[in-house]
Amino acid sequence: MVDQVAPDQSDLKVNDIENAIEVLKNKYPGVVTDDTRHGYQGVIVDKKRLIDVAMTIRDELGFDYLSSATAVDYHEMGEPDSDMEMVYHAYRTSGGSALTFKAQTPRDNAEIPSLIDVWPGVDFQEREAFDLMGIRFPGHPNLKRILLWDGFLGHPLRKDWKEAYYEQDHKPFDSRWPGGHVHRAEEKNIYGKNVAYPEDFDLSRLNDVSEEALYNSMGLGVDVQELSGDSMSTDRLIVNMGPHHPSTHGVFRMIISLDGETIEALEPVMGYLHRNHEKIGERNTYLHNMPFTDRLDYLSSMGNNLGYALTIEQLMATGARYKPPSYRAESIRVLMAELTRICNHLWSIGFLLNDLGAFFTPMLYANNEREKILDFFEATAGSRLMCNYMRFGGVYKDIPERIHSVANLVNDRVRDLDTMEFLSDIIYERLPRFLDEYEYYLSENEIIKSRCIGVGMLPADMAIAYSAAGPLLRAAGVPYDVRRAEPYSIYDELDFDIPVGIQGDIYDRYTVRMSEMRESLRILRQIMPRLEETKGESVTGNTQYAARVPIGESYGRVENPKGELGYYVVSAGDKKGTQNAWRYHIRAPSFINLTPLGQMSKGHKVADVVTVLGSIDIVLGETDR
């Protein structure tokens, strides 16, 4: 627990982590050692005692929330017996910074004990590390590929793995300039000739093999008749929802085993939209990644941009010539982040209502308001969804004085509005009026209440254990919000509350989102005068197109509308700094929030699973990456 009477919070937090590390080192001498590499934090734990140490971290030191678990491949960089490692970031739900701990293993025959018994939320993340990095986790009950399909050869995030259209390790590619004769990648490297399958993989039996493996993992390989209840004899039925189903919000598939109409087991299957964002990110320069982050959670691209900018700024700040963002730039960032939150929640509540059967009317009412916010994004950043607005140490451009559109070849319309007037109209008039009306419209509706209250329960202890984040966690009654727990940008000087739910059902998630929009408006009302005061300040940050970033690691996180969005970036190599990330990992809230989906749906009717999924609020661009 954080001591409330301490005079300086920031000092306390640093000492706190140091103390925790000291305790660990005393308790496990020789097992826990400091990570002494340049620019790295935390401790390295001997993998043989990893589970014991993790238990101590969770129970004795109180780091009950495992935010992120990911793997890094130090191919030809580290020692041969420890050139692959798992990196864990654990937090306290009472706030404070991360306790980072790592476990190392050789690349060949990589094996690290599973932490699933300590933090069940590590389930999907370990499967991801197995899938993309090829680390095995003894103790994991269901260790199989999660994003890629079974016929995939190799583990693509390993540094020696090359993709089908491989050109060079890093962008920019030499073929583009100065002798840039154009070619299409698929002409040089024809599809079909660049695909390899694992040795024991039989392509003709593809569907049988993978489906069988899936069903077996759900424990469905048994005789169904024997298991049905005595009172009423019902068959077990397997229903595949998705990948093409409107209720799944994208290409997402749920395999549901039903007893009558009641859900017995649910297994999410994902990866249909997988493009290995992280591998692309490691080929890119740091700046190149910025527009790619837009494509993660494409409903809240401003938030994604902000998280990435903060992460790289953490690294840049360790270098000599770093200028932090100006106050105006920070204000604009918060403005954008909060508008994004409203946009996202409008969308997600609208879609939840769609899932409940209120087809598109509430959704379109919400979209009317969202449209206005997107108009502002378009005038400022140049695009409605793919904003690509944040830069390292600032933003792309200041807010324009007028939202000005001229007639041209494509458009015969003219529009000329004052931007600040437009903004204050949205913030002070339209949105508050709309939220009142929307709440009046929906909150007391009997159908919504009877379908949502008591359905899809996720109690607080489970939410924390499963690393759930965002409205999902707060609806369970845990007041955990990164903006408060570890404030970034200028959130520490803003006045706002963290809305929480009571029992963690769908209705609580709905009310939490509603209240969060009101809190966002409260923040925006504090931002508006700051924008007026700081008029004229420069907002552009680092203007180099190939900036070097000092070596080290950094984990930056923001409270995105969908939950905690984290970026883990390793800059390794050249002592002068690097232009490309060695490792670029995203802790995607949409992905990790799906871990408890099976638990939440168990015992409910098949129609409820649609609303449960809708209440988690996922975007497949981020889930599948």
Residues 301-340 touching another protein, rule: CB under 8 A, are none
321 token code pair: 């010539």
Distance of alpha carbon 140 from alpha carbon 64, whole angstroms: 20
* CB nearer another protein, residue 239 or residue 447: 447
| Range in contact with another protein (rule: CB under 8 A) among 17-25, 80-88, 255-263, 393-401 | 393-401
* Contact in structure between 278 and 585 (CB atoms under 8 Å): yes
Cβ–Cβ < 8 Å for 464, 65: yes
Residue 555 CB, nearest distance to another protein (Å)?
A: 23
CB of 181 or CB of 576, closer to another protein: 181
- DSSP bridge pairs for 278: none
- State the nearest-atom distance from the C-beta of 540 to another protein, in Å: 10
119 within 8 A of 140, measured Cβ to Cβ: no
For another protein, the binding residue among 11, 235, 437, 537 (CB under 8 A) is: 437
Closest CA to 460 of 409, 499, 502: 502
Q: Choose the stretch contacting another protein; rule: CB under 8 A; options: 67-75, 91-99, 446-454, 500-508.
A: 446-454
List b or e across 233-248, with b for residues whose CB sees 16 or more CB atoms inside 10 angstroms. eeebeeeebbbeeebb
For 21, the token pair is 């590390």
| Short-list 173, 170, 202, CA closest to 286 | 170
Q: What is the contact mask toward another protein in residues 141 to 180, using x (rule: CB under 8 A)? A: ------------------------------xxx-xxxxxx
Site size toward another protein (CB under 8 A) is: 71
Write each residue from 355 to 374 as x if it is in contact with another protein (CB under 8 A), else as -, in one continuous string.
------x--xx--x---x--
Choose, by CB under 8 A, the member of 414, 537, 574, 602 that binds another protein.
414
Looking at the Cβ atoms of 149 and 173, the one nearer to another protein is: 173
Amino acid at 268: P
What's the CA gap between 619 and 296, in Å, rounded? 8
Instruction: Determine the interface stretch with another protein among 244-252, 285-293, 311-319, 320-328 (rule: CB under 8 A).
Output: 285-293
Closer of 125 and 289 to another protein (Cβ): 289
From candidates 2, 224, 273, 287, binder to another protein by CB under 8 A: 287
- Taking the least distance from each CB to another protein, the nearer of 262 and 405 is 405
For another protein, the closer CB: 429 or 533:
429
Rule CB under 8 A: say whether 442 interacts with another protein: yes
Contact 583, 570 (CB under 8 A): yes
CA distance 481 to 470: 7
**Chain residues 544-603 in contact with another protein, contact rule CB under 8 A:** 545-546
**Tokens matching residue 441:** 């419209």
CA–CA distances in Å: residue 156 to residues 88, 132, 142, 291: 21, 5, 20, 22
Shortest distance in whole angstroms from residue 172 CB to another protein: 4
Options 257-265, 320-328, 401-409, 454-462: segment touching another protein (CB under 8 A): 401-409
Place of tokens 């649910």: 266
Q: What is the nearest approach in angstroms of another protein to the Cβ of residue 529? A: 20
Q: Is residue 378 part of the contact set for another protein (CB under 8 A)?
A: yes
211 forms part of the interface with another protein (CB under 8 A): no
User: What is the DSSP secondary-structure string of 517-564?
Assistant: HHHHHHHHHHHHHHHHHTTT--------TT--B-SEEEEEEEEETTEE
Tokens found for residue 126? 């370990």
Nearest residue to 131 (alpha-carbon basis) of 570, 581, 625:
625
Closest alpha carbon to 449 in 501, 364, 508, 502: 508
**Candidate residues 223, 440, 495, 575; the one interacting with another protein per rule CB under 8 A:** 440
- Which one of the spans 10-18, 219-227, 231-239, 289-297 is the region binding another protein (CB under 8 A)? 289-297
Looking at beta carbons only, is 183 or 575 nearer to another protein? 183
Strands 99-105, 43-45: parallel, antiparallel or unpaired by DSSP?
parallel
For another protein, the binding residues in 492-551 under the rule CB under 8 A are: 545-546
**Comparison of 35 and 167: residue with beta carbon closer to another protein:** 167
Using the minimum distance from each CB to another protein, give the nearer residue, 226 or 412.
412
Tokens (6 digits) for 266: 């649910």
- Please say which residue, 111 or 421, places its beta carbon nearer to another protein: 421
Closest to another protein by CB, 155 vs 283, is: 283
- How far apart, in Å, are the Cα atoms of 484 and each of 96, 248, 256, 493? 9, 32, 38, 10
Q: Of 2, 386, 490, 606, which one interacts with another protein (CB under 8 A)?
A: 386
CB 328 within 8 A of CB 284: no
Q: Give the bridge partners for 65, in sequence order.
A: 91
Phi then psi dihedrals of residue 416, to 5 deg: -145, 100
Cβ of residue 31: shortest distance to another protein, in angstroms?
Answer: 43
Stretch in the footprint of another protein (CB under 8 A) among 400-408, 521-529, 560-568, 603-611: 400-408
- How many angstroms separate the CA atoms of 158 and 132, rounded? 7
- The whole-angstrom distance between residue 68's C-alpha and the CA centroid of its chain comes to 10
Rg (CA), the chain: 25
Of 106, 291, 319, 479, the residue at the interface with another protein (CB under 8 A) is 291
- Give the x-and-dash track for 212-231 against another protein (CB under 8 A): --------------------
Nearest Cα to 132, choosing from 113, 150, 157?
157
Minimum distance from residue 413 beta carbon to another protein (Å)? 4
Residue 260 burial class via C-beta count within 10 angstroms: exposed 0-12, middle 13-18, buried 19 and up: middle
**Residue 185 vs 502, nearer CB to another protein:** 185
Tokens (6 digits) for 284: 């890119």
Closest to another protein by CB, 238 or 287: 287
Interface residue with another protein among 162, 449, 602, 605 (CB under 8 A) is: 449
Query: Which CB atom, from 52 or from 425, has the smaller least distance to another protein?
Result: 425
